[in-house]
Amino acid sequence: MTNSFHPPQRTLMGPGPSDVSPRVLAAMARPTIGHLDPEFIRMMDEVKSMLQYAFKTDSPLTMPISAPGSAGMEACFVNLVEPGDKVIVCQNGVFGGRMKENVERFGGQAIMVEDDWGKPVDPAKVTAAFAANSDVKLLAFVHAETSTGVMSDAKQLCQIARDNGALTIVDTVTSLGGSELDVAGWGIDAVYSGTQKCLSCPPGISPISFSEKAVAAIEKRETKTPSWFLDQKLVMGYWGAGAKRAYHHTAPVNSLYAFHESLVMLEEEGLENAWARHQLHHNALRAGLEAMGIGFLVEQQYRLPQLNSVMIPTGVDEAEVRRRLLADYNLEIGAGLGALAGKVWRIGLMGAACNKQNVLLCLSALENTLAAMGADIRTGKAIAAAESAYS
Amino acid sequence: MTNSFHPPQRTLMGPGPSDVSPRVLAAMARPTIGHLDPEFIRMMDEVKSMLQYAFKTDSPLTMPISAPGSAGMEACFVNLVEPGDKVIVCQNGVFGGRMKENVERFGGQAIMVEDDWGKPVDPAKVTAAFAANSDVKLLAFVHAETSTGVMSDAKQLCQIARDNGALTIVDTVTSLGGSELDVAGWGIDAVYSGTQKCLSCPPGISPISFSEKAVAAIEKRETKTPSWFLDQKLVMGYWGAGAKRAYHHTAPVNSLYAFHESLVMLEEEGLENAWARHQLHHNALRAGLEAMGIGFLVEQQYRLPQLNSVMIPTGVDEAEVRRRLLADYNLEIGAGLGALAGKVWRIGLMGAACNKQNVLLCLSALENTLAAMGADIRTGKAIAAAESAYS
């Protein structure tokens, strides 16, 4: 016989999932009701409205996809890319590569614009790619690269796309709720995100939003979307603005309770206050790490406050450090992905996990562990440096 | 400001979601941990093993998809159907139609075998379809049609497919955990289900399993699967048997806690005992409904105990009945779908909702409501009839 599972109580400071507030966990455990129950429909309307606030858009086509962020990405590409379409895809980390996979699997032609991992997307290269290719339908890029901790200039990149008559697909999985994002103001046409980063909700839901222009492009498709589950024309029948909701698939009822509560908490805090909180604690963490002699992968002006890619001290067995942090402090930090594996750790300060206690825990635990393993770091300075960043 | 959402406490006797046990809800609210945490990996292994028990298969390719049952369906079709493939699709309700959509969206050719809604799939027609078409790759059918409450003979249909060298895709969304299902014994090659029916877990996860032959077919695909999220070659890197789990997407951690607990409960009860419990309470519900003069859509030998499609008494405003049941008794029953809208109600007896209290509540509430609305039913007999079915 298998026993019930009782997870340890971790502090989640990796690249996501982040710590989930007890309020959100409590919401998730409320009694399940039907996905067509009038009370559930009322809750869905509130989710849509709060999500519009979080994304900064009035678009009625703003809703959560019933699956994780990867499915949100796929929902954007599968609906907007038709066979033969040209898509400029910017790659400066893992997730740009996944975008390329999406374009190609749906029959599109991916025109790659590459930048080093840890650098932002270079707008000049994007401009050049438009100049070198005619009839580009879409520009796709990652706003906040979870694999590197770098922020690209979404506003400027969207402007370039617009100047060239192209639509935009933007990955905001790690930026939503953590740093400035203005979907309507910047003119993003298709945006997707995740719940398990700066919204501090368990993973499993992907919020998305489409602009009017994106909807028009979907409506004039000549081929059927090669997915039934993610076909937005069908999903809209359930999440749409009409009074009558048509059954499409069974919504993940309890996951949506949790998402609703995380959005209520964002509304209570205020979007701009949430952005400022992420910056504040990032500043303190950075001061502490630098006092220890640990540097950052990303130049300061492009750094995401919520995801800190820091250089692993020379000669340290990085997996053993993470293993000890988990075993001795119940603290999770992230490994490097792809080209950055073994070179950086990814320290998240996302959502509910972005607070002073966690900054101090992380600095203390990392310093103790690295010192015990004989790493070349400065000790005894980090906590004071972090404290002074707060004052 | 939006308030936290507090759902009413319903009794869910529709076509799903069904009532969720407090044990499962409590599991869902346990602290989120990382999707690559060693403790989480251990829990995933337990989920796989218990799911093999529930499906009755030893296949290592047995795992939950991180999205609802519709995505489980899509995972089977998108991996197994290549452009030009011939697929015999049996349609005797809503979900066979969705299978056809899947086949066609992935470039396959759907050869339809149609039966009336409320009738099982006719094996003779399937045999005839194989005789009339060469090189059929797949036979797809629904074991337990949620839209009609009819059970088809999966064992016999799989035998016909095997005799004709075809693989099978079988929808067991409503049968898993509620009535006999023997994936390995019957030779099902690709099977998908949902969590929100007889497993009594919140919706959002779709358990699937592939046979060795199905895996071989996926491995020799000539084209890339037109989905990144559902590409089983990639998903297996995370859910696979290897010691090292490769990141594919962020698993829905808390939803999997809940699913784990629902499988623990199934193991405690015993699979065959769970099937017998569904039959027992169906017998009592049926006795009560018949005593009221309410008949069934489906002939007795093909009826699903867990989903009862019952004929709406003549002249009754069926939507008003459902509205009153919800308002006065917090009781949800389901409307008819598609061709059966307005003709039947669908009364679920699934998982944790399948118990004597619910049978008696449903009979009482329905009798009181119908009598108050002047419907032509017999009163005062139903409860005694149900009770005598139990004795």
pLDDT tens per residue across span A101-154:
999 999 999 999 999 999 999 999 999 999 999 999 999 999 999 999 999 999
Minimal Cα–Cα distance from A38 to chain B, Å? Answer: 10
Shared-domain flag, residues A275 and A262: no
In a domain, A60, yes or no: yes
In a domain, B182, yes or no: yes
The answer, yes or no, to whether residue A386 has pLDDT greater than 60, is yes
Shared-domain flag, residues A235 and A284: no
Residue positions forming the annotated binding site of B for substrate: 346
Residue in B closest to A47 by C-alpha? B2
Cross-chain Cβ contact B32/A49 below 8 Å: no
Q: Is A137 helix (H, G, I), strand (E, B) or coil?
A: strand
Shared-domain flag, residues B276 and B256: no
What is the average per-residue pLDDT within A154-160? 98
Whether A49 and chain B come into contact, CB under 8 Å, resolves to yes
The answer, yes or no, to whether residue B84 has pLDDT greater than 60, is yes
Shared-domain flag, residues B253 and B307: no
Q: How confident is the model at residue B235 (pLDDT cuts 50, 70, 90)?
A: confident
Handedness of CA B346, B351, B353, B359 (dihedral sign): positive
Please check whether residue A325 is in contact with residue A319, taking contact to mean a CB–CB distance below 8 angstroms.
no
pLDDT of residue B247: 79
What is the average per-residue pLDDT within B83-93? 97
Could you tell me the residue range of the domain that residue A127 belongs to? 21-268
pLDDT of residue B233: 87
In a domain, B14, yes or no: no
Q: Is A372 exposed, middle or buried, given 0-12, 13-18 or 19+ CB atoms closer than 10 A?
A: exposed
What does the block give as tokens for B282?
A: 């169906």
Please check whether residue B109 is in contact with residue B86, taking contact to mean a CB–CB distance below 8 angstroms.
yes
The answer, yes or no, to whether residue B338 has pLDDT greater than 90, is no
How many percent of chain A have pLDDT more than 90? 95
Q: What is the CATH number of the domain that holds B295?
A: 3.90.1150.10
Residue in B closest to A105 by C-alpha? B226
What is the average per-residue pLDDT within A60-76? 95
Cross-chain Cβ contact A252/B250 below 8 Å: no
> What tens digit of pLDDT does each residue of A257-296 get?
999 999 999 999 999 999 999 999 999 999 999 999 999 9
If one counts the domains in chain A, the total is 2
What is the average per-residue pLDDT within B357-374? 98
Q: How confident is the model at residue A206 (pLDDT cuts 50, 70, 90)?
A: very high
User: Phi and psi dihedrals of B41, rounded to 5?
Assistant: -60, -40
How many percent of chain B have pLDDT more than 70? 99
What is the average per-residue pLDDT within B123-132? 98
Q: How confident is the model at residue A241 (pLDDT cuts 50, 70, 90)?
A: low
The answer, yes or no, to whether residue A378 has pLDDT greater than 80, is yes
Angle at the Cα of B83 from the Cα atoms of B79 and B88, rounded to 5 degrees: 75
Minimal Cα–Cα distance from A116 to chain B, Å? Answer: 22
What is the average per-residue pLDDT within B289-307? 98
The answer, yes or no, to whether residue B87 has pLDDT greater than 60, is yes
Shared-domain flag, residues B252 and B341: no
Of B39, B101, B252, nearest to A8 by CB-CB distance is B39
Shared-domain flag, residues B177 and B71: yes
**Mean pLDDT of chain A, nearest integer:** 96
Q: How confident is the model at residue B201 (pLDDT cuts 50, 70, 90)?
A: very high
Whether B345 and chain A come into contact, CB under 8 Å, resolves to no
Residues of chain A with C-beta less than 8 angstroms from the C-beta of B263: 2
| E strand or H helix at A350 | none
Task: Map tokens 């005593």 to a residue.
Answer: B291
Shared-domain flag, residues A261 and A336: no
Q: How confident is the model at residue B244 (pLDDT cuts 50, 70, 90)?
A: low
Cross-chain Cβ contact A229/B71 below 8 Å: yes
What is the average per-residue pLDDT within B271-287? 98
Listed residues A221, A240, A268: the one ending a domain: A268
pLDDT of residue B73: 97
B218: how many CB neighbours lie within 10 A of its CB? Answer: 19
Whether B223 and chain A come into contact, CB under 8 Å, resolves to no
> What tens digit of pLDDT does each residue of A328-356 get?
999 999 999 988 999 999 999 999 999 99
The answer, yes or no, to whether residue B245 has pLDDT greater than 80, is no
Residue in B closest to A19 by C-alpha? B32
Residue in A closest to B71 by C-alpha? A229
In a domain, B85, yes or no: yes
Cross-chain Cβ contact B5/A35 below 8 Å: no
Q: What is the CATH number of the domain that holds A124?
A: 3.40.640.10
A249 or A25, which is more confident: A25
In a domain, B359, yes or no: yes
What is the average per-residue pLDDT within B160-176? 98
Shared-domain flag, residues B72 and B164: yes
Where b means 16+ CB within 10 Å and e means fewer, B246-272 reads eebbbbbbbbbbbbbbbbbbbbeeebe
Listed residues A268, A303, A327: the one ending a domain: A268
Q: How far apart are CA B24 and CA B28, in angstroms?
A: 6
Listed residues B247, B268, B289: the one ending a domain: B268
What is the average per-residue pLDDT within A181-198? 98
In a domain, B9, yes or no: no
Whether B24 and chain A come into contact, CB under 8 Å, resolves to no
Shared-domain flag, residues B289 and B260: no
The answer, yes or no, to whether residue B74 has pLDDT greater than 60, is yes
pLDDT of residue A244: 65
The answer, yes or no, to whether residue A245 has pLDDT greater than 80, is no
255-314 in chain B: CB under 8 A from chain A: 255, 257-258, 260-261, 263-264, 267-268
Residues of chain A with C-beta less than 8 angstroms from the C-beta of B102: 228
In a domain, A350, yes or no: yes
Shared-domain flag, residues A142 and A201: yes
pLDDT of residue B242: 56
Which residues does B300 contact at the CB level (< 8 Å), separation at least 6? none
Q: Is A170 helix (H, G, I), strand (E, B) or coil?
A: strand
DSSP state letter for A122: -
Shared-domain flag, residues B263 and B275: no
Shared-domain flag, residues B225 and B243: yes
In a domain, B318, yes or no: yes
DSSP state letter for A32: P
Please check whether residue A150 is in contact with residue A109, taking contact to mean a CB–CB distance below 8 angstroms.
no
The answer, yes or no, to whether residue B196 has pLDDT greater than 60, is yes
The answer, yes or no, to whether residue A243 has pLDDT greater than 60, is no
Residue in A closest to B268 by C-alpha? A1
Q: How confident is the model at residue B61 (pLDDT cuts 50, 70, 90)?
A: very high
Whether A66 and chain B come into contact, CB under 8 Å, resolves to yes
Q: Secondary structure of chain B in the HEC alphabet?
A: CCCCCCCCCCEEECCCCCCCCHHHHHHHCCCCCCCCCHHHHHHHHHHHHHHHHHHCCCCCCEEEECCCHHHHHHHHHHHHCCCCCEEEEEECCHHHHHHHHHHHHCCCEEEEEECCCCCCCCHHHHHHHHHHCCCEEEEEEECEECCCCEECCHHHHHHHHHHCCCEEEEECCCCCCCCCCCHHHHCCCEEECCCCCCCCCCCCCEEEEECHHHHHHHHCCCCCCCCCCCCHHHHHHHHCCCCCCCCCCCCCHHHHHHHHHHHHHHHHHCHHHHHHHHHHHHHHHHHHHHHHCCCECCCHHHECCCEEEEECCCCCCHHHHHHHHHHHHCEEEEECCHHHCCCEEEEECCHHHCCHHHHHHHHHHHHHHHHHCCCCCCCCCHHHHHHHHHC
ipTM of the complex: 0.96
Cross-chain Cβ contact A7/B251 below 8 Å: no
The most distant pair of C-alpha atoms in chain B lies apart, rounded to whole Å, by 65
pLDDT of residue B243: 54
A234: how many CB neighbours lie within 10 A of its CB? Answer: 17
Task: Map tokens 């027609």 to a residue.
Answer: B125
Q: Is A289 helix (H, G, I), strand (E, B) or coil?
A: helix
Cross-chain Cβ contact B25/A32 below 8 Å: yes
Q: How far apart are CA A160 and CA A158, in angstroms?
A: 5
